[in-house]
Structure 1
Amino acid sequence: MPELLLELFSEEIPARFQRRAAEDLKKAVTNALVDAGLVYEGARAFVTPRRLALTVTGLPARSPDKREEKKGPKVGAPQPAIDGFLRAAGLSSIDQAKIESDSKKGDFYIAQIEKPGADAATLLSAILPKILTDFSWAKSMHWGSGSFNWVRPLRAITATFGQENEDPVVIPFASNELTSGQTTFGHRFLAPDAIKVRRFDDYVTALERAKVVLDLDRRKEIIKADADNLAFAQGLSVIADENLLEEVAGLVEWPVVMMGSFDPEFLKLPEEVIIATIRINQKCFCLRDATGKLAPNFIITANTIASDGGAVITAGNERVIRARLSDAAFFYQGDLTTPLEHGLPKLEDTVFHAKLGTQFARVERIVKLAGDIAPMVGADVERAKRAAMLAKADLTTGMVGEFPELQGLMGRYYAIAQGEPADIANAVELHYKPLGPTDKVPTDPTAIAVALADKLDLLTGFWAIDEKPTGSRDPFALRRAALGVIRIIAENGLRFPLQVEPDLLSFFHDRLKGTLRDAGARHDLVDAVISTDSDDILEIIERVTALSELLSSDDGVNLLAGYRRAANILAAEEKKFNLTYNGAVDQGLLRLTEETDLAFVVDAVHAAVSAHVGRNDYKGAMAELATLRGPVDAFFTAVMVNDDDSMVRVNRLNLLSRLRETMHLVADFSKVAG
């Protein structure tokens, strides 16, 4: 079957846009093909710094013929209705329509409309230019006299279509001032001549000969393997950096790996500073020696085969890195001469948010909040307040000004250098964490107090000014802050009631539900234990865990069935009489052994469950509930709730209400599915 090859050749596409663009192109083309009736077998998208490419295999030569039926008016309908039907169906006479009968609606007209298929090439010539016009980039530009937008100036379009053993045809269309053809170009420096393209296989082969590796993931594999081998030969190992690897692979079409070095004197700098300097400024990988220490070497990924073996390229990178590390050393030494707290006044000149004041005002709030939180998490109040005071001070340092991603970390280095206790220095770094689901969580009490204070101040502040996340928009990372609070509380086993407004508490509930579901908890069990005023994260987690264990046992399953039966009876009777049964159970009205036994057991279990819940022992509470299984089963086997004697009936309903109340001490079982 025929194959489509599409290549959009342009000036350099920023690396951060490449993978998404390739997927977007594949999605746009394949969706349009299916909509046009061109069902395909497979599609693959590729990207290099100068091209987006797509191959679609197993396409039909033309779209299938279609037959549609269009229902018309009733037989005998007014002429205007008949005329409108004829126009819509493309008929010249009502005699061309069929008549069908419906037992309820009578006879009506049906038009059979034949829609012949179209050549795939014809359909593609209409589909492809529209896709280019509608294609969305995070940032785009237009050039020349046209209004066409693309991420960078588009230089050539290849669009071929045909069978495997035949010469393909060019899909004819124009975009901006370009006309589609079958000409592409190789590596900008190593093989810049034009290349005539037929179909995907010879296209890939021709590009390889022209020093272009089309597949982004293959370029990543080449870079990683060559870098590892080069490092291994020197007794070193490459520091893994997936984001940098993705970026570097998006900067080259023919990757060539080399190794450079820098003055070992720079190793006196914090290694994070060295790595950031080399990574951000030169897109190079750093290395470690056999002992795990940072080595005075780096890996360069060039986009050319140098005639001198890369000596000039390596020397150029070494020269730039030496200058950058000298700048970093200057910032670092300068920052060390100034105590952290001396930078605090500068925060008064830094606006955190127009409605929430300066960074200095925020620090004051965090200090107070950290002091309030400290006793609740086992931290010393004064040490927590000291750490909170210093937490944002490194924002005024030269190093963080140059590398904002090092905030917190540099604060820890400077705090240690000025003699701060280890827990305070660590809290300065860790108060931002966790930054994501795999990031570490603070475990030291001082760091916990400051981290919670930082995140809770952020959340309560933005809630107070009604700047809440909406849809996918969350510019202040409030979802991340809430998830951070949840992880800190949960992973440290903290009893920490969230004393926040109901709307913000509901926001925490939503984040916690997602976290628990991601961990495998049933959504109905989560809903069963969370009420609008549930403010203890750890308690919710423990209740869900205990409830899950209970309902995974036979006792739990049968008890749930008994609960549902009781709840249904109560609901029906309470609705009938518009009241709630919650009166005391009259022992004198208990006639049968089974109801007497249940009444006794329910009272005992109610007291035991209340005691377990008071000690936050939810497994114990669930175990007590499990003992109800037998008496409940026996009750419903032997007892007719709706007895003819109204007093007996009401007493039995009150007993079932007492059972419901007892089970609700740990969860709302009415929300449990199954």
Structure 2
Amino acid sequence: MTASLLIEIGVEELPPKAMHPLARSFADSLVARLDEAGIGHGAAEYFATPRRLAVRIADTADASPAETVEKQGPTVAIAFDADGQPSKAGQGFARSVGVAMADLDIEDSDKGRRLVYRGTAEGQPLAALLQPAVDAALRELPIPKRMRWGDGEAAFVRPVHWVVALHGSAIVPLTVFGETADRYTLGHRFHHPQAIEIADSQAYLEQLQSPGYVVADIGRRRELVMQQVNQAAASLNGQALISDDLVDEVVALVEWPVGIAGRFDQRYLELPREVLISTLEGHQRYFPVEHPNGALIAGFVTVANIASRDPAQVVSGNERVVRPRLADALFFWEQDRRHGLAAQVPKLERVSFQQSLGSLADKTDRIERIAAELVTAAGAHAAHVERAARLAKADLVTEMVDEFPELQGIMGGYYASGEGEPDEVAQAISEQYSPSGAGAPIATSPAGRCVALADRLDTLAGIFAIDKRPSGDKDPFGLRRAALGVLRTLIEGGIAADLAKLLDMAISIQPVGAAADTQSALWVFHMERLRGYYQEQGIPGTHFDAIAALDIVDMTDFDRRIKALGEFAALDTATVVCSAHKRIRNILRRNREDVPETAVDNATLTDSAEKSLKASLEDQGRTIETAADQGDYTAALAALAPLAEPLDQFFDQVMVMADDPALRRNRLALLSSIDRLCRRVADISCLSIEAA
């Protein structure tokens, strides 16, 4: 018999960020354990609210299937004595499988004739297999810190208060952290605190919602939150600013979402937009609201976990709570502007960047020096870059950023602008942390790109110099993100700079002596990030290898080459040229000592195929070199295509390793010339192109 299997674990309020991952992991782990136990089942779905984790698995069998069992016993020589009577070994084997000696088969094997048992093992009931499956699934949950409660030894993310375990309408024996499973769950803490008897696993969601006032389906609850927030914002004649992260957090905080609109004093609208949003979202979990014209409204939307009989009282309470937060933000704003951003710079000497790498003032000095090296390549104004670098970290010691760390850089830009600094300086300060994450835009201004690059290069060089490099999945300083930010800014910003020299310089100005391999390790670290950057764009790893083999230090040049390589690889002739180049590389590698330094001697060319190849080499070589020198890598690689036919004929008709030493050296010289040409833009021998 099959039926839906429902397991619900009732707990005290879960940490909001943990709810969804725990529910998903519980379902995945339980399904995996049932699979291991041989219990057949259909699709699984998981549910969660702040007070419960649940999984429902369709068409779950009530037992594991019977299995055919085959066991080999001792050989006949051991199983029977000299008189042909069963020996102790033979009888022992029969007892172990639960049959008489006469019921065993005798078959040939690689060790001679031996006893064999074949039988059927009955399946085990779900009731016997569920407990170990649930125990194992709970042990595997990603809980960083488990808590204990009561006098027992139970430890879980939160104390467990009830358990439901139903197979269809039948209760399945199960105990979780001392709680015995039954069919009773609890509804909403206020709307329906009484127990709810779940008649059948299929009725779980419906019975929780009515009469329980609990929407257990995470996706459905998210839809309701969005709907409620939008309706409440419309009542303020505005539109809610909806952050996915905030929605996810709210969904994990409520079981019965009810949107509520509130207002605050207009005077707080003088605060920067980001400050208002951070205050409402970060501190209060409120949704900001804006006019259709994009300006913020002096109002907010919050999501309550209760449908109050007196909504006005709830609105008043939320408005009362947010006032002191906004008042604090306004105070910080006024205090910081009163002191001025430049006046904060000396305070950086008292703030440590990293114990071995000095203070933030020391880091500021290094950022200035590195940023100055980037001015020309970025097309920036030197004075603007110098000023922006000097003020870049000053907002870290302001009261506003102390309260709202996520506004670092942004507040510096506002303060600089308000103090009359050039727009380019203010913008560069606000863009210094760009890109802020995966997929986020890079700094848009030339000065901003210089400061953003300098900041990351200094951090990367410093942390590598003190040998605190990332390992495994540990990256406490965010160096992988920093390196990707460097690469993206160089490539997407069109900054033609020598990355190897920049890394060298950044390492050389650190206050510690770096190990000899620091620069090479840092270069490899960046190349690993660059490989991933192109893989996300669908560019094959072999294409990356073909460019990386040339040790290109200008990332904009690297980018142009790898894009051109993609176009070349799509040509029909690319297969022949790449295969020939691989063959050439292998021949040259095996005969490295015989390859002459001299040019090809036309007088020594005897075969028509090698003469034809040499003529094509001269014709296409000029085109390739000219196009490559001009940076037209697409044209340079395309010019390799006419070499396909003469290369094919050459290898079909010419013996490179001729007995005549003069012929052999000249042909190796010819191949060496072709090799240099095939590596002018990319080492195309790295490519793996299948023939169409």
Q: Please give the range of the TM-score, normalised by the shorter of the 2 chains.
A: over 0.9
- C-alpha contact 2:595 2:668 (8 A) present in aligned 1: no
The one of 141, 145, 152 equivalent to 1:139 is 145
Q: Give the whole-Å Cα distance in 2 for the aligned partners of 1:490 and 1:136.
A: 38
**What is the aligned partner in structure 2 of residue 555 from structure 1?**
573
Matched ranges for 1:386-465 at <5 A: 386-465=387-466
Letter in 1 for 2:17: R
Counterpart residue number, 1:151: 157
Distance 1:94 1:459 in 2: 74
CA distance in 2, matches of 1:630, 1:127: 65
Residues 606-615 or 174-183, more deviating = 606-615
What's the counterpart of residue 281 of structure 2? 279
Asked whether 1:658 is paired with 2:659, we answer: no
Give matches, 1:273-352, under 5 Å. 273-308=275-310, 310-352=311-353
Q: Give aligned pairs, total.
A: 664
Matched residue type, 1:554: D
| 2:560 equivalent to 1:542 | yes
The 2-side partners of 1:498 and 1:81 are apart by: 79
Partner SS, residue 456 of structure 2:
helix
The residue aligned with 2:55 is 54
Task: Say whether 1:34 aligns with 2:49.
Answer: no
Aligned twin of 2:506: none
Please say which of residues 478-487 and 603-612 is displaced more in the overlay.
603-612
Q: Distance in 2 between matches of 1:83 and 1:672?
A: 63
State the 1:388 CA deviation. 0.9
3-state DSSP of counterpart to 1:337 = helix
Between the aligned partners of 2:468 and 2:194, the Cα distance in structure 1 is 55
CA 1:528–1:83: 2 relative to 1, 3 Å: farther
Q: CA deviation at 1:378?
A: 1.9
Structure 1 residue aligned with 2:684 = 669
1:82 & 1:444 partners in 2: Cα distance?
Answer: 86
Higher alpha-carbon deviation: 144-153 or 562-571: 562-571
Give the corresponding residue for 1:238: 240
* Aligned residues of 1:371 and 1:382 also touching (Cα < 8 A): no
Q: 1:654 to 1:105 in 2, by over 3 A?
A: farther
Q: In terms of mean alpha carbon deviation, does 144-153 or 70-79 score higher?
A: 70-79
Task: Tell me by how many angstroms 1:279 deviates.
Answer: 1.2
Question: C-alpha separation between the residues in 2 aligned to 1:512 and 1:96?
Answer: 68
Q: Alpha-carbon deviation of 1:615? A: 3.6
Equivalents in 1 of 2:235, 2:426: separation in Å?
39
Please state how far the C-alpha of 1:188 moved relative to its aligned partner.
Answer: 0.3
**Structure 2 segments unaligned to the other structure (5+ residues):** 81-86, 504-518
Letter in 1 for 2:549: S
Q: 1:584 to 1:506 in 2, by over 3 A?
A: same
C-alpha deviation, 1:129, in angstroms: 3.6
Q: Is the 8 A contact 2:29 2:140 kept in 1?
A: no
Of residues 533-542 and 612-621 in structure 1, the stretch that sits farther from structure 2 once superposed is: 612-621
Deviation at 1:20, TM superposition (A): 0.2
Q: Distance in 2 between matches of 1:130 and 1:552?
A: 51
Whether the aligned pair in 2 keeps the contact of 1:427 and 1:446 (CA below 8 Å) is yes
Alignment correspondent of 2:134: 128
Cα deviation 1:558-606 (Å, max 9, x = unaligned): 32233344445556x639xx75566532211212333223213324544
Distance between the aligned counterparts of 1:84 and 1:590, measured in 2?
Answer: 86
In the alignment, structure 1 residue 383 sits paired with structure 2 residue 384: yes
Identity %: 35
Work out whether residues 236 and 299 of structure 2, in 8 Å CA contact, stay in contact via their aligned partners in 1.
no
Contact 1:16 1:247 in 2 (8 A): yes
Q: Following TM superposition, by how much is the alpha carbon of 1:506 offset from its aligned partner in structure 2, in angstroms?
A: 0.7
Cα deviation, 1:416-457, whole Å, max 9, x if unaligned, reads 011111111111111111022221111321111101100000
| Other-structure match for 1:267 | 269
What is the Cα deviation at residue 134 of structure 1? 5.0
Partner of 2:259: 257
SS at match of 1:41: coil
Supply the distance in 1 between the matched residues of 2:264 and 2:402 (Cα, whole angstroms): 24
Is the contact between residue 621 and residue 666 of structure 1 (CA under 8 Å) also seen in structure 2?
yes
Q: CA deviation at 1:152?
A: 1.7
1:669 CA drift (Å): 2.4
Please list, as runs of the form range in 1=range in 2, the aligned pairs for 1:353-392 lying within 5 A after superposition.
Answer: 353-392=354-393
CA distance in 1, matches of 2:334, 2:625: 61
2-structure distance, mates of 1:470, 1:655:
46
C-alpha distance in 1, partners of 2:624/2:107? 69
Q: Distance in 1 between matches of 2:284 and 2:138?
A: 33
Looking at structure 1, the residues matched to 640 and 303 of structure 2 have their Cα atoms a distance apart, in angstroms, of 65
Which residue number corresponds to residue 520 of structure 1? Answer: 538
Contact 2:268/2:330 (CA < 8 Å) preserved in 1?
yes
Q: Deviations over 1:520-551 (max 9, x none)?
A: 11111111110384322222221111111112
Matching residue's letter, 2:421 = E
1:3 offset after TM fit, Å?
1.7
* Contact preservation (8 Å) 2:550, 2:682: no
- The question of whether the paired residues in 1 share the 8 Å contact of 2:48 and 2:216 is answered with yes
**8 Å Cα contact 2:259/2:302 also seen in 1:** yes
> What amino acid sits opposite 1:142 in the alignment?
R
Partner SS state of residue 2, structure 1: strand
Task: Check if 1:574 corresponds to 2:591.
Answer: yes
The aligned residue for residue 526 of structure 2 is: 508
Distance verdict in 2 for CA 1:138–1:199, change over 3 Å: farther
Task: Kindly provide the amino acid, as one letter, of the partner of residue 186 in structure 1.
Answer: G
Q: Structure 1's 555 and 127: CA in aligned 2 closer, same or farther, altered over 3 A?
A: closer
- Retained in 1: the 8 A contact 2:547–2:683? yes
Q: Residue 301 of structure 1: SS of its match in structure 2?
A: strand
Letter in 2 for 1:545: K
After superposition, where does 1:101-112 map in structure 2 within 5 Å? 101=108, 107=113, 110-112=116-118
| Farther-moved stretch of structure 1 (93-102 vs 315-324) | 93-102
Name the residue aligned to 2:84: none
| 3-state DSSP of counterpart to 2:624 | helix
Return the offset for 1:479: 0.5
Q: TM-score, normalised by structure 1?
A: 0.92
Partner of 1:169: 170
CA distance in 2, matches of 1:140, 1:524: 46
Letter in 2 for 1:625: L
SS at match of 2:639: helix
Distance 1:495 1:391 in 2: 24
Q: Which stretch shifts more, 653-662 or 283-292?
A: 653-662
Shift of 1:410: 0.4
Letter of the 2:332 counterpart: F
Partner of 1:165: none
Normalised by the size of structure 2, how large is the TM-score? 0.90
Query: Per the alignment, do residues 543 and 89 of structure 1 end up closer, same or farther by CA in structure 2, a change over 3 Å counting?
Result: farther
Deviations 1:152-196 (A, max 9, x none): 21110111113xxxxx32222323332111111110001110111
Tell me, which stretches of 5 or more residues in structure 1 are unaligned? 163-167
Q: Distance in 2 between matches of 1:603 and 1:81?
A: 89
Give the aligned partner of residue 613 of structure 2.
598
In the aligned structure 1, how far is the partner of 2:564 from the partner of 2:214?
58
